[in-house]
Amino acid sequence: MSKLIDGKEISARVKARVAEEVAGLKAEGISVGLAVVIVGDDPASRIYVNSKKKACALCGIDSYEYALPASTTQEELLALVKKLCADDAVNGILVQLPLPSHLDEGQIIAAIDPKKDVDAFHAVNVGKIMIGDFDFLPCTPAGCMELIDSTGVSVEGKRCVVIGRSNIVGKPMAMLLLHRNGTVTICHSRTKDLAAITREADILVAAVGRPRFVTADMVKEGAVVIDVGMNRLPDGKLCGDVDFEAVREKAGYITPVPGGVGPMTIATLMQNTATAARIQNGR
């Protein structure tokens, strides 16, 4: 039976650390502010935004929400982003994805000042992550690294497999593992004999977006398994990309869904916002 990696507990420690940092900045007369832009009425996006607002309150970060109708035009959204970039009270800007299909996400992300890009999606920040000289790390991959660290398992020299190659999780996750001297393989929909590769992984990160995709026969005995997936089943229950009940019998460590990676994503966002405020104020 594997040991559970408790994302709620670990994220609480991260947020407590951020709250202390924010309090220190406030003692110097520096407030910390995060602007969150949500377009449309996607229920999942609304849940995420509400969670981020609650975390801001806990960490002492000022939260500014801009809820725009689904009919918002590209020009209107770009104008808002430009306004927030120029607002000194705003240290971090987050545009909640996905956007309605008529909006160009790439153009919106490119319009965010890289120094306020607390999601680390801007090409400047992506490039910095590639060379290992970064100000911010993407929230979900950085949260995954913190979860791996909590196990006491060193990444150095380990076989690491990431299932998924998205710009948001898969690719940056692979880079962070590589920066820690892991031997990294990225798998995707065109990978041949996927199970043979995943069975070699000392550290396995599943970010494929398919319910219970990773089965016990795909996992090495004693592996660290990080489940990034968040899928809603027909009965309304949530599950990850890993068949949790089966895999937990084989893995050494495993994250649950919910309560694993999700809380860490939000905690890392808080850390990035505090870091942005510190950098912008020369601290």
Task: Write out the catalytic residue numbers.
Answer: 52, 96, 119
DSSP conformational letter for 214: B
Pairing of strands 224-227, 3-4: unpaired
DSSP string, 45-104: HHHHHHHHHHHHHHHT-EEEEEEE-TT--HHHHHHHHHHHHT-TT--EEEE-SSPPTTS-
First vs last C-alpha separation in the chain: 46
Question: Do 120 and 134 contact (CB within 8 A), yes or no?
Answer: yes
DSSP conformational letter for 258: S
| C-alpha separations of 59 from 37, 84, 166, 245 in Å | 19, 21, 29, 34
